[in-house]
Amino acid sequence: MNCQEKSYEELKETLEITLKEALELNRLDALDFASNDYSEKNCRMKRNELLKFLRSQGCELLREGAKHSW
Dihedral over alpha carbons 53, 57, 67, 22 (to 10 degrees): -90
Q: Where are the domains of the chain?
A: 8-34+45-69
> Would you state the pLDDT for residue 2?
65
What lies within 8 Å, CB to CB, of 46 at 6+ separation is none
> Would you state the pLDDT for residue 6?
85
d(CA 24, CA 12): 18
Give kind and range of the element (H or E) at residue 4: none
> Would you state the pLDDT for residue 67?
61
Q: What is the mean pLDDT of each run of 10 residues along the chain (70 residues)?
A: 79 89 91 84 86 88 66
> Would you state the pLDDT for residue 66?
66
